[in-house]
Chains A and B, each alone.
Chain A
Amino acid sequence: MSAETAASRNAGAPRQGKGWALLGSELSVLFRRLRTWAMLTALAAVPILIAVAVKLSSRPTTPGRGPLFLDRITQNGLFVAVTALVVCVPLFLPLTVGVVAGDTIAGEANLGTLRYLLLAPAGRIRLLLVKYAGAVAFCCAATATVTASGALAGVVLFPVGPVTLLSGDTISVGESAWRSLLIAAYITVSLLGLSAIGLLISTFTDVPVGAMAATIVFSVVSQVLDNLPQLEWLHPWLFSHHWLGFADLLRQPVSWTSFGDNAILQAGYIAVCGALAYAKFSNKDVLS
């Protein structure tokens, strides 16, 4: 008995290390991929395109038309990042996150490398966690890319000054940087539920393209349902319901309600999809 516990304890230490090593290799594989960089570049191009288009157009933008704050970019470059995030949240960010999350397990299965990953005594739960952590890292990188590229494009092309909030109050440049970081964090949290759905779908198939497409379809369907007033009872349960709620961070004082609601909702999706993904993946016959 004691020998057995000793043996398992001995096995524990290297397994612990193995998890971190696995995470390290997962991240390095993810961020060394050409596809990842292509997606991040495309995301970085969105705010640059917006900024250049506004700079080149001679027509003054009318307030209240186009995405949020589009009319204020010419007065204050710091709005480029916010406008770009508004544009990216419904489609571009879910698209890229869907590609990464859908690829997690199905991609390895398709390449035939899943078997070798499972040969190592790392365990399937750990592999699943590491794969999810990789998807989360991509969510962070994606929102950070849009925010940083937007801030850069705004600072280069437009004057920078105190920022007007939705409430009509103005805040200093330093505080606006802090609010931009908060918004990036909010959107990263918003994408966690979708990543968990992608991971779940990815355990069901060996065709990564199918898992990616299904994940993206889920995000579109959820947003369509969120716009149907007949399904109002369903709205608070849709993972995309709070996606545009980051506007609450641009009020004075900051309204934290939607941040909290969003975090709880996404945690629920992570728990349910994670449990289902674990059940499916631990019973999966890995043949390739």
Chain B
Amino acid sequence: MWWSVALARTKQRWLPALVIPFALAMAVLFGSVQAGATVSLPPRTADEILAMIARTEVRALSGTVQQTAELGLPEVPTAGPGIAPGAASALELLTGSHTARVYVDGPLKARLQIMDRMAERDVVLNGGDAWFYNSADNSATHLTAPAPSVADVRESLPAKPGPDAPSDMPVREIPTPESMASHFLAAIDDSTEVSVGESSSVAGRSAYRLSLHPRSTETLVDSIAIDVDSETGVPLGVEVRAKGQAEPAYSLAFTELDLSTPDAALFEFTPPPGATVTETAVPAKPVPTMPAPEDAPTLRHPVITGAGWDSVIALPAGSAPAELTSNPQLSQALQPVAGGRAVTTSLMSVLILDDGRVYAGMVPLERLQSAAAQ
């Protein structure tokens, strides 16, 4: 009989070794199930939710956003031997996953911190000043927009009241779910079917889900979902799905959100000692993201053909900037096609012809080629 007692004791001793991993696995499973659970909210129509977004009174927030892009672009290596962290180009922001912290206070102050692995890229906007800081090479760029003169402000008063009119442009350029959503919402017209999806939970807040479906079958976009906070009407997340792709092609959503006013010191940026500082004065509207290829405005008026989702933007000959083809990272993304080169992603295509004409749109490449042939 002694052996059965010994066996029972052995079993008893192995028990915690089984119970603890099992309990942890259950906790992990339960946590992931709960995170994806739907929330029950009083039903609202699409128009009511659109009105909520328009009426939102949130002017200040701090939060963490996660951006994931699965556009089918070649991935730019960000880690590995010989590559400085955070030194990759703007193209790198369109591949893979990025986490950033966003601080917004009113229409004039904002700060974006792109959190790279052991590095950080910062954008600080404060009135007419814009600072870009990259910790990887310890460099800072200072953009100064001319201070809005009284005449400017007065001129803009009838259209947009308040002093925010001349310089509220930069803050809108900070990629928050809110600014993303406003881009898409501004484009809603007859070509879009707006519906209300299942409510969800984003950044620990219950949210209505607004779905935009293009009525056109020509476009690459399958649907766009915008999660709207049920309390304040702030867009919490944007998800763009491409046709024929299981994962979202692009998503930008808060993972943490705090609606209190951020510390004012966050918007005061002084370049650290030892940093290389570049001063740039912007004559007209500050465009802090990529410099648009509109150098000679007389010749190069873009022509838009089609309407809504399947419209094609055409730039006349000589529009293609030279650095597009000389940049090794960009030329890696370009594939040769008949008569030129093209970038095809799951959401949009760009066709650069050898004579310098550029066609772009959220449509398949074939449609751009037929537009170019006309």
Interface residues of A (CB under 8 A from B): 63-65, 68, 71-72, 75, 86, 161-162, 164, 166-170, 227, 229, 244, 247-248, 251-253, 255, 257, 268, 271-272, 274-276, 278-280, 282-283
Contact = CB atoms under 8 A, between A and B. Distances in A.
A72 B139 CA distance: 13
Contacts of A280: 17
Q: Closest 4 interchain pairs by CB? A: A64-B84, A279-B17, A164-B272, A168-B133
Given A75-B274, A166-B119, A248-B115, 14 more contacts: A63-B139, A64-B87, A68-B118, A168-B120, A170-B270, A247-B118, A251-B101, A255-B101, A272-B21, A272-B24, A275-B16, A275-B17, A276-B17, A279-B17
Given A275-B16, A283-B10, A283-B13, A167 B120 contact: yes
Contact of A164 (B113, B266, B274): B274
Nearest to B80: A227
Contacts of A253: 263, 266
A169 B270 CA distance: 7
A275 B21 contact: yes
A162 B271 CA distance: 13
Contacts of A65: 84
Nearest to A267: B24
Contact of A168 (B14, B118, B271): B271
A17 to B, nearest CB: 26
Give the secondary structure class of B's interface.
Answer: mixed
B203 to A, nearest CB: 13
B304 to A, nearest CB: 38
Contact of B20 (A71, A162, A255, A271): A271
Q: How large is the interface on B (under 10, 10 to 19, 20 to 34, 35 or more residues)?
A: 35 or more
Nearest to A282: B13
Given A64-B84, A255-B101, A278-B17, A168 B122 contact: yes
Contacts of A255: 101, 115
Contacts of B188: none
B348 interface: no
Given A64-B84, A272-B24, A166 B120 contact: yes
Interface of B: 10, 13-17, 19-21, 24, 64, 75, 79, 84-85, 87, 101, 113, 115, 117-120, 122, 131, 133, 135-140, 256, 263, 266, 269-275
18 contacts: A64-B85, A64-B136, A64-B137, A68-B118, A68-B119, A72-B274, A162-B273, A164-B275, A166-B118, A167-B135, A170-B273, A244-B118, A252-B266, A255-B101, A257-B64, A272-B21, A275-B17, A279-B15
- The winner among A71, A168, A227 for most chain B CB atoms within 10 A is A168
B122 A278 contact: no
A168 B140 contact: yes
B275 A168 contact: yes
Nearest to B111: A167
A247 B136 contact: no
A72 B138 contact: yes
Contacts of A257: 64, 256
B176 to A, nearest CB: 18
A279 B16 contact: yes
A255 B99 CA distance: 12
Contacts of A64: 84-85, 87, 136-137
A286 B122 CA distance: 59
A252 B140 CA distance: 16
A68 to B, nearest CB: 5
Contacts of A279: 13-17
A227 B136 CA distance: 20
A278 B13 contact: yes
A63 B263 CA distance: 30
Nearest to B268: A169
B122 A167 contact: yes
Contacts of B140: 168
Contacts of B21: 272, 275
